[in-house]
Structure 1
């Protein structure tokens, strides 16, 4: 179950990172986006904590960050027309490879 918590926590990290953009930096002018972003932040950290009960913290944290970083970069390209250069895609590939490697050795 720890891996499920960790994956959901990573997906929520993507959600709150995108939410930061949509809420204009947690602006009160966007209360719904701000509320959802804060809720996703809290849920993400709580699930990371639950996963860390049985997974090594270094592995759990690195995978959580990796899912969030790669997913947020992809979301930025898709949702906000951020550049999808070969270098950026290769860097995302390196992150994904690192996350996969950590999963394999844990």
Structure 2
């Protein structure tokens, strides 16, 4: 698996009646078995605050918002293969089980090598 690009962003409202501003999106582009693939992960923005409160990840200490590495972490946990290209998480426990917390330093290294 060759990582080409890892990034993310805070979603913004497009219409006043939508809830888009409550979510973050994380994207990773990679090669898998000679094919270029992309994984998009959308999750509730509150999870960033929750992980900081639980001591799992602190974006202020690393200087990297979690949405830049979330999809990369999930991809790493699945050994480079995720069926489908879009994942959505609205449950804290499911989100935390989607990646291995011990992989965070490695994901940060990969992300920083790409920027």
TM-score, scaled to structure 2: 0.27
Work out which of the two has the higher radius of gyration on C-alpha atoms and give 1 or 2.
1
- Structure number with the higher strand fraction is 2
Higher helix share: 1
Give TM-score, length-normalised by structure 1. Answer: 0.29
